[in-house]
Amino acid sequence: MKALIVVDAPEASSILTQLLKKRGYDVTACTTAAEAKELFSQTTFPLVLLDLDSRATDGFSLCRWIRSRPAGDQPLIMAGTASGQAPYLRMILEAGADDYILKPYEEELVDIRLIIASRLLKNREIYRSLQADLLREQEHLDYLAAHDPLTRLLNGAAFMELLQNAVRAAYQGAPGALLYIDLDSFKLISDSLGHSVGDTVLAQVANLLRLCLRYQDVPARLESDEFVALLEQIRLSEARMIAERIRSKLEQLRFSNAGTEFAVASTIGLATIDGTVPAETVMARADAACYAAKARGKNRVATYDRNDEIMAKFSDHAPRAAEIREAIRSDSFVILFQPIVDVQTALPVAYEALIRLPKNGKLLSPSVFVPAAEHYNLMPEIDRQVITKALKQLVNNNKLRLAINLSGQSFGDSSLSDFVQSSFRTAGVEPARVTFEITETAVISNLVAASKMMRRLRERGFRFALDDFGAGFSSFAYLKNLAADYLKIDGNFVRDAETGRSDWIFVEIINEVAHRLKMKSVAEFVEQEATLAKLRAMGVDFAQGYLFGAPGPPP
């Protein structure tokens, strides 16, 4: 370790040099402040011993000069002085010295001071090492916070910051473009070949994007099989060429298993960045263009066009999704309750929990916000909030029975069953007081996952109802494979039954099927006494609709 002595008295300099060398220091000695500054410009010294009483060494000024240097070059400074007066010693420390040595120098006392200095330097090195480790760890954490660990591309949050900067740059006259890339066959490949192969696909797609893009372009992975790329300072025609190059290369990417070959392929939406709309709108437009391209056949590139009906409708999803995320974050969804009555007595036996999204003093129905929530895969979070809020009402009213809707996306949430069981167990609520409602279309589109979840929760005492049954009318073949307790007749049959005899036939058929399969039937959209009388005569078990009450506060 290097040490610098700045002392103009030869005898004192010799004593200090010998003692420092004895302690293993590599010693450099000089006699003036100017020499010391020159030496500092050439190297660093962890330890400096300087004389404060000499004009040549100009100790106080030199001390302050050293302390004005960059933090990484700061040494331990020991100042030699003949004055032991407290005010003077305080001035030494205020000038920047770490310790002092009284003159004349006595070897034993100086050596003790050097032992202390060595320990301080050792502790300082340990501290600096820890600081360096912490800095490296922080840099690593910052990297992880901004990057997708699988593909090493930027993640969505970090990408949005760059997109916002690009929008500002475009406003200043540097237009750009955004590509929204969705893999057409990823789910099929992942389900068929396994998740490890799926991860390989995503990593290769990321590498391919890097090769297809210009060096200044920035790719990112949003989630699952969705990627984006920011193209700054580019003409629309050139952006289209890059998008088409990516699409073509991805189309050539192949994976095979047991003789079956899978093509990755992609659909790409392109939106221009001109600085006239915020980053969120640019993202929504690129997403909408991608969605429209998928609707028209996949494996193609589409540029956002506000006059395109599909794109215009779909681009509205992004601001709605932002409202949904805020409602999830602030736990502000509202739950209303509509009675389900026994057809014979017209008395409530349960209530359906119905979610509403508050906005500007109004409550928006699911038809307004669910499409956006489904597109952005927000329904599982919404379902959990509904379950949590409904559970509070069950705790408050131990006679209450509820029907709670589950979305099709929640079938893919492997942890939902555990969440439900844990929540009810903690709250001390009997599972039999709850019926989960799932639509027939959601079940049919994900039959295996739906059947597995239904079976697992029914084993714990929960009940299930197939909602809107008959809406797709492809359901009878699946009924025997689904462990449901109730069949809810699609409300359109019931509501239209007053004007058409054929609709009553469908109601009768579904009611008969339910009873033959040991299920209870529930008629929806009951609004007239005559309809109730007809359902009663038909033997339908339960009914729901505005005849018995509109959705309202907890009963």
Q: Which has the closest alpha carbon to 14: 1, 27, 32?
A: 27
* Gap between the terminal Cα atoms of the chain: 80
- pTM for the model stands at 0.60
Q: Could you state, in chain order, the average pLDDT of each consecutive group of 10 residues for the chain (555 residues)?
A: 92 92 93 93 91 83 90 84 87 89 87 86 78 83 89 94 94 93 86 83 94 96 92 95 96 77 89 93 92 90 90 79 91 96 96 96 92 87 96 95 94 87 95 92 78 91 88 60 86 75 81 92 93 94 96 93
Which residues face 26 on adjacent strands? 2
Domain ranges of the chain: 2-130, 156-315, 320-544
Q: How many angstroms separate the CA atoms of 434 and 383, rounded?
A: 14
Q: How many angstroms separate the CA atoms of 317 and 375, rounded?
A: 8
Asked: is 2-130 a CATH 3.40.50.1220 domain? The reply is no
Taking only the tens place, the pLDDT of each residue in 294-304 is 888 889 999 99
The listed CATH number (3.30.1120.10, 3.40.50.1110, 3.40.190.10, 3.20.20.450) that belongs to domain 320-544: 3.20.20.450
Environment class of 144 (CB within 10 Å of its CB; exposed 0-12, middle 13-18, buried 19+): exposed
**Residue-level pLDDT at 116:** 86
Q: Does an H or E element contain 272, and which?
A: strand 266-273
Identify the three-state secondary structure at position 269: strand
Please name the amino acid found at residue 141: L
**Residue-level pLDDT at 490:** 85
**Residue-level pLDDT at 439:** 85
Q: Which has the closest alpha carbon to 464: 445, 441, 440, 448?
A: 440
The listed CATH number (3.40.50.80, 3.30.70.270, 3.40.50.1000, 1.10.599.10) that belongs to domain 156-315: 3.30.70.270
**Residue-level pLDDT at 465:** 94
Given this chain, do its domains 2-130 and 320-544 carry the same CATH topology? no
Nearest 5°: phi and psi at 471?
-65, -35
How many angstroms from the chain centroid is the CA of residue 526? 42
**Residue-level pLDDT at 500:** 61
Structure tokens at 8: 């103009």
- State the Rg of the chain over Cα: 37
**Residue-level pLDDT at 54:** 81
**Residue-level pLDDT at 498:** 65
Which residues, including other chains, have CB under 8 Å from residue 233's CB and lie 6 or more apart? 169, 174, 175, 176, 216
Q: How many angstroms separate the CA atoms of 429 and 439, rounded?
A: 25
Q: Which has the closest alpha carbon to 62: 110, 75, 71?
A: 75
Find the angle CA(27)-CA(32)-CA(36) to the nearest 5 degrees.
50
